[in-house]
Chains A and B, each alone.
Chain A
Amino acid sequence: MSEQATRADVCAAAIADAFRDDGELFASPMGLLPMLGVRLAKLTSNPDLVISDGESLFLAGVPPLFAKGVVVEGWIPFRKVFDVVAHGRRHVMMGATQVDRHGNQNISAIGDFDRPRRQLLGSRGAPGNTVNNRTSYWVPKHSPRVFVEQVDVVSGVGPARAREAGPAAARFNDIHRVVSNLAVLDVRGEGDTLRVLSLHPGVGADEVREATGFDLDVPADVVTTREPTLEELVIIREVLDPKGLRFKEVPA
């Protein structure tokens, strides 16, 4: 096996790191790479994570992506998910069609909401997630179309908007990480804006700035996202994703 990590492997490890300090809570990944990263975290840095099959079962084991027939440790039908959201013991990693400078996220519609240029899913659980439990975003294609100055519709609420909406909104607002195919970011930049925490190996600061539709804070001493360990590479390649499904989201 080559010890050289692919970009997808790096992303999986970066996502895993977003969940490493969560302790015992419901890790709720939306999409393939987040699911891979969460399971990687559970097998390495945070075995206390509670994971589900993405539908209605809490899984005791850590099965490969889309595998069935493992030991079940609980029941989490859709109705109970909202109880956990309100309770707060949950960290969701969602997709984002748009994310703006202030960490607001849009999965509702592109263009004017009343007559969208492109209708998306709808706001889904984003408004509730972002004012109740820890929320991260996964962006498989970092581009100026995704990272925009201002999102067209605010589905997920960033820290500044939460503060403006009052203590009830800001109290549990916790936008933790934005992981893209180029970098790891958070929202602790000046005035609670997006800033780069690390650039993936082989990615330059200019590349990320050009792929971002607003002036992005990349600190001069920005570090490189860590490479997955050999143990992590073995787990990703031989246990969790032997078929290489991750390369559909982030090509090698």
Chain B
Amino acid sequence: MSATPRDKRMTVDEVVAQLRDGMTIGIGGWGPRRKPMALVRAILRSDLTDLTIVSWGGADVGLLVRAGKVRRLVYAFVSLDSVPLEPNFQRARQAGTIPEVVELDEGMFQTGLRAAAQRLPFLPMRAGLGSDVLVHNPDIATVTSPYADPETGVQEELVAVPALRLDVALVHLNRADRHGNATYLGPDPYFDDLFAMAADRTYLSVEQVVDTAGLTVDTPVQRLLLSRMLVTGVVETPNGAHFTTCTPDYERDEPFQKAYAAAAAASDEDWAAFEERFLSGDEAAYQRAVRAFHEEQA
């Protein structure tokens, strides 16, 4: 009998095999930073469709909407930072090919995840009041405080941000053990632990799988962001956040991002050529194609 917790290692394709049409999938990271891109690419290769995607959006959103995988998109922004507007997202919005969009304020987005993580139907906040976020999302209700303000006597009417329940969260961190305990080594945890708590199941991709003891041998314990009790599967995918950042393992691949954005903003033929070159094979083929791309650039 094993005296250690379960070994949860799997492949990206094994993760995607556990996803279903119509699922609500939260994608961790933030904009063009530490996105679980290898998992996103695996979804692109699959037959999955009709997805609800919940994301601080970057190229993950752009790629999935361009591929027609998304029925409903929940976001507060979609950006590549050095390329401010995500061209695939922009194109899809302007062509009306995302059937349902839920554009929230960023703080509302976090609050919705918090409500889900706390198994609450909603949490109150001010954000959204007076803005078109409430106009364009008429299903988002307000709630009257049961408590009068001690000074004014007013019972404030606040936004009741509905819980953003996720079937699955996909996140990418720097290191994990085989059981799903994981650390981020960059400057910002983003919201990956919150995504995990808002989800029924979390699949984690990492740069490197190490022994449990190795997680804290050179890293403060405060950097342990995810506990294995929140993690269903662990995938080792070196360079798996490419072309987003995975600080300090690597920074954003700006030349590649530029090529991506140019292809996305160009003709259908240009995009098809980009897809054929980079996205038609498996993850190993993708990484080979990226290396070849950089050899050409050099």
Q: Is B248 an interface residue, CB under 8 A from the partner?
A: no
Q: Which of these, A55, A109, A153, A166, contacts B187 with CB under 8 Å?
A: A55
Q: Is B84 an interface residue, CB under 8 A from the partner?
A: yes
Q: Which of these, A77, A86, A161, A168, contacts B190 with CB under 8 Å?
A: A77
Encoded as 1 (CB less than 8 Å from any A CB) or 0, chain B from 51 to 86 comes to 000000100000000000000000111110000110
Residue of A nearest to B189 (CB): A77
Interface stretch (choices B150-158, B167-175, B280-288)? B150-158
* A122 and B103 in contact, given A78-B191, A127-B108, A165-B130 (Cβ under 8 angstroms): yes
* A121 and B187 in contact, given A82-B110, A116-B94, A166-B156 (Cβ under 8 angstroms): no
Residues B131 and A121 in contact, CB atoms below 8 Å apart = no
Residues from chain A with Cβ under 8 Å of B156 in the complex: 166-168, 171
Expressed in whole angstroms, the Cα–Cα distance for A247 and B161 within the complex equals: 42
Residues A172 and B94 in contact, CB atoms below 8 Å apart = no
Expressed in whole angstroms, the Cα–Cα distance for A156 and B135 within the complex equals: 13
Nearest CB of chain A from residue B116's CB, rounded to whole Å = 15
Q: Is B106 an interface residue, CB under 8 A from the partner?
A: yes
List A196-251 residues whose CB lies under 8 Å from chain B.
Answer: none
Residues from chain A with Cβ under 8 Å of B106 in the complex: 82, 123-125, 128
Residues B127 and A166 in contact, CB atoms below 8 Å apart = no
Residues from chain B with Cβ under 8 Å of A124 in the complex: 76-77, 105-106
Residues from chain B with Cβ under 8 Å of A167 in the complex: 152, 154, 156-157
Residues from chain B with Cβ under 8 Å of A131 in the complex: 126-127, 129-130
Nearest CB of chain A from residue B185's CB, rounded to whole Å = 13
Known: A85-B107, A118-B90. 13 other contacts (CB 8 A): A82-B110, A108-B103, A121-B78, A121-B84, A123-B133, A125-B76, A127-B128, A128-B108, A153-B132, A154-B132, A155-B132, A162-B130, A167-B157
Interface CB pairs A-B, < 8 A, 29? A55-B187, A77-B188, A78-B188, A86-B125, A117-B94, A119-B89, A120-B85, A121-B85, A123-B76, A123-B77, A124-B105, A127-B131, A128-B107, A128-B125, A131-B130, A153-B136, A154-B131, A157-B129, A161-B130, A162-B130, A164-B130, A165-B129, A165-B130, A167-B156, A168-B126, A168-B156, A168-B158, A169-B129, A173-B130
B-side interface residues toward A, CB under 8 Å?
30, 57, 75-79, 84-85, 89-90, 93-94, 96, 103-108, 110, 125-133, 135-136, 145, 152, 154, 156-158, 187-191, 194
